[in-house]
Amino acid sequence: MAAKPEITFRGHGVSPGVAWGRALKIDSQNRVMLRVEVADPESEVARFLKAVEMSKIQLQELKGRLEEKVGVEHGVILDAHFLILDDRVLREEIVERIRAQRANAEWAVTQATERLIAAYKSLEDEYFRERHSDIEHVAERILLNLSGDSAFGLGRLPEDVILVARDFNPSNFATMDLGRVRGLVLESGGRTSHTAILSRGLRLPAVMGLCDILASVSTGDLLLVNGDGGQVIVHPTHEHLENARRQKEALAAAAEAAGPMETAAATADGMALSLRANTELPHELTAAIACGAEGIGLYRSEFLFFAHPHGFPSMEEQRSVYSTLARAMSPHPVAIRTLDAGTERLGEGGERSTNPSMGLRGIRLSLALRDAFREQVEAIVRAGSDGNIEMLLPMVSTVEEIRQVKDLLAEVRSGLERAGIPAAPVPLGVMIEVPAAVLVLETLAREADFLCVGTNDLIQYVMAADRGNPAVDYLCQPLHPSVLACLGRIAEVSGRMGKPVRICGEISSNPFFAVLLVGMGFRQLSMTPLAIPAIRRALGKVSVAAARRVAERALTLATTGEVYDYLVPEVSCLVPIDLSPYEKEIRPSRHE
């Protein structure tokens, strides 16, 4: 029998890692709920309320089991489901539908929740839009309890499965045998969904937002999942599987070999380098220390907000997390990036935007929500007494934004000093990720203590290409000459002005690009923790002079393809280790 043709799907990589296994296709129960007139509406109301109470009992048990598996900090994710079950307005709407229309509870639940789901799906902000799935999951649980059915069982799974579904209830993680699951592939969802957050907590490679993949996958099909690149291959070739195996083995070997006592990173000719970790979840702190990270170059504080049932964690909740990071990484620095979220944080009555990625988000939103921002700033400042804490501002485009934050910092410090609370100095950094910041870099650098380059967003904004849109995927290339020109300018200006600068995008975790960055003049690279040992070894094989020669030549080339064709053989000669798993990550689409 001829081998089935390989099919590649691109979506959103929401949990890093590479995995392969046999598909287990989980079809959603797409119920059609008909309206049935009931003789006794009050009995139907009682039946609905009983189903709600049963759902609460089930969720409480599932929450306990989930906390045992992935930690108490992740159990709060299911609190969102409790809040929906306790929502007085939603409950009253369902009861009113039953009474006013003498309707069955199933129909009333479906009508009310579908209205709410549609409202959430219409929101521009990704985080709030993803909350529609929580409503769907709660509605499904209530309907199951009304019908007396049982949820689909995931307790007995075959070995090495890739779960494939339209959506996935995060409570399912509490009941399934995680040792048999290798990856998660969903048609819906994004990075801020609760299922995505739990996938990262479980270190389960996951790709979401894969349009129509269910129609092309059958249970038992071999799948290759790349949670870093947002790619899923159905019926992968032997070559693709071997590359994935080598990449996974290389990362595992590097992580095992590395340790906190390893010598500091340096080039072959002794130039000191600082390799730091990008983190967001508690378990990543352990990985960062084990892999020899010299600090946290970027801590994404969004997890505290996205996972919190009430939207905004208290100052004390935030301070506790930041202090834990500071103490664990001491004496190395920990850079806390302030909340990087979008417009719908203002609530449904807030400003709407037809282009939310360029709307009220990042530092713009924080300055608009001054009270909430003040609490985060105070938490960061107070945590500074427990270690080497830095504060990092996302999506800065004007010097006025930095000055407003500095004024707020001064207010917070003054208030703490009056209250007799220690307020350690906290260096202030800015993310360079929009073209405006690159163009006025000298002005920004004079105001900031350090600079941090967010290459993921920088590429998107420089190329005016949504990195989540497959139609323009070929433009979102880190090797594009315009992107390299921006990086070259950032390195030159920061060096001339004596400002520390680091790269915090995941391009740092690719040896080909790491050599290029060192050649441009960058000495601080921050990346996923498990990539640190491999990058340390690769850069230890290259002299600064050789890296500079590579960068100077790359900056003269006219197309992404020309840069790639030059860079791959050149760096492969300089770094005598197997780089083939990394080469495909920077291979451009030939649409030039």
Helix/strand number for the chain, H first, E second: 24, 16
Peptide bond into 236 cis (omega under 30): no
Q: How far apart are CA 488 and CA 490, in angstroms?
A: 5
Q: What 3-state class would DSSP assign to 544?
A: helix
Q: How far apart are CA 510 and CA 581, in angstroms?
A: 10
Helix ranges, 363-465 (H) = 363-368, 370-383, 399-418, 435-439, 441-447, 455-463
Cα–Cα distances (Å) from 320 to 68, 378, 379, in that order, read 21, 12, 8
337 backbone dihedrals φ, ψ, rounded to 5°:
-80, 130
> How, if at all, do strands 206-208 and 12-15 pair?
antiparallel
| Helix, strand and coil in the chain, % to nearest 5 | 55, 15, 35
> What DSSP assignment string belongs to 320-388?
HHHHHHHHHHTTSEEEEEPP---GGGG-TTS---SSGGGSS-THHHHHHSHHHHHHHHHHHHHHGGGSE
Residue 446: both structure tokens together: 């004079």
For the beta sheet containing 12-15, the strands, ordered from the edge strand earlier in sequence to the opposite edge, are: 7-10, 231-234, 222-226, 18-26, 161-165, 181-186, 206-208, 12-15
Instruction: Select which of 74, 194, 332, 480 is catalytic.
Output: 194
CB 165 within 8 A of CB 187: yes
Burial of 374 (0-12, 13-18, 19+ CB in 10 A): middle
How many other CB atoms are there within 10 angstroms of residue 247's CB atom? 21
**Which pair of tokens denotes residue 4?**
């089935």
Beta bridge partners of 43: none
CA trace torsion 284, 286, 287, 288 (10° rounding): 90
CA-based end-to-end distance of the chain: 38
Nearest CA to 350 among 132, 123, 190?
Answer: 123
Active site residue 504: yes
Distances (CA, A) of 576 to 242, 511, 538, 569: 20, 12, 8, 11
How long a stretch of residues is the chain? 592
CA dihedral for 96, 98, 103, 104, sign (positive or negative): positive
The letter for the amino acid at 380 is: I
Q: Are 554 and 533 in contact (CB under 8 A)?
A: no
591 is catalytic: no
Task: Look at residue 526 and give its three-state secondary structure.
Answer: strand
Contact of 397 with 362, CB cutoff 8 Å: no
Name the pairing type of β-strands 231-234 and 7-10.
antiparallel
Task: Give me 7's structure tokens.
Answer: 């099919």
Residues designated catalytic: 194, 504
